Amino acid sequence: MSLQEIKNRIARAEEAACRPEGSVKLIAVSKVQPNERVEAVLEQGHRIFGENRVQEAAGKWPAFMERYEGVDLHLIGPLQTNKARQAMELVHAIHSVDRPKLATTLARLAQELGKCPDLFIQVNTGEEDQKAGVLPMEADGFIAECRALDLPVRGLMCIPPVEEEPALHFALLARIAARNGLEGLSMGMSGDFESAIALGATHVRVGSAIFGDRVKAAG
């Protein structure tokens, strides 16, 4: 599926949800994609990308950013505290703030660096043991904790359980955001982004539908 087809589907979903055109940002998830595929999307004028790992992003994006103006890079994967400084110096948004230790580290680094990316708090809407994110019942308290640290919390993020209806999780995330006065909702991927847009997504994360299947590193 072409990048333009994805954008057309987003525009139709915005219209169906009676939302303004352009209210949803498409994050092209470029993790584990060869540079030539990423470059092809950049050449089409797209500028919002998502990476899972700080190390991969650091190896790929500085060179692209020199060549292409206006790149908006989002970290959508888990962030270790020892990689927080590198992430804050490279990306424009972090979607995976998920624990007090990381929040405290980001707050300290924001004071040192004099800047901070936009932050999204990851909520484990499915309460899955293997998945990162704060539990729904703890989300309000953690949002307040992050705000008390003066962190720029813009919204929430979730990854619904594979075997469950994603709309239920999107609706839950939207309710938590609404009662906390947060507008950003990072939710929806290649298979369900139209449903996410109907329920208020402001950022959708689409990878394989744009780039093709991921290419695994050798070894």
Cα gap 125→122, rounded to integer Å:
9
pLDDT, residue 218, reads: 46
Q: State the DSSP H helix or E strand holding residue 97, giving kind and residue range, or none if neither.
A: strand 93-97
- Confidence check: pLDDT of 219 > 60: no
Distances (CA, A) of 207 to 27, 112, 180: 8, 34, 29
On whether the pTM is more than 0.85, the answer is: yes
Q: How many CA atoms, within 13 angstroms, populate the side-chain half-sphere of residue 65?
A: 14
pLDDT in tens, 44-80: 999 999 999 999 999 999 999 999 999 999 999 999 9
pLDDT in tens, 121-172: 999 999 999 999 999 999 999 999 999 999 999 999 999 999 999 999 999 9
Cα gap 175→173, rounded to integer Å:
5
SS3 for 145-184 is HHHHCCCCEEEEECCCCCCCCHHHHHHHHHHHHHHCCCCE
pLDDT in tens, 77-125: 999 999 999 999 999 999 999 999 999 999 999 999 999 999 999 999 9
As a whole number, the mean pLDDT across the chain is: 95
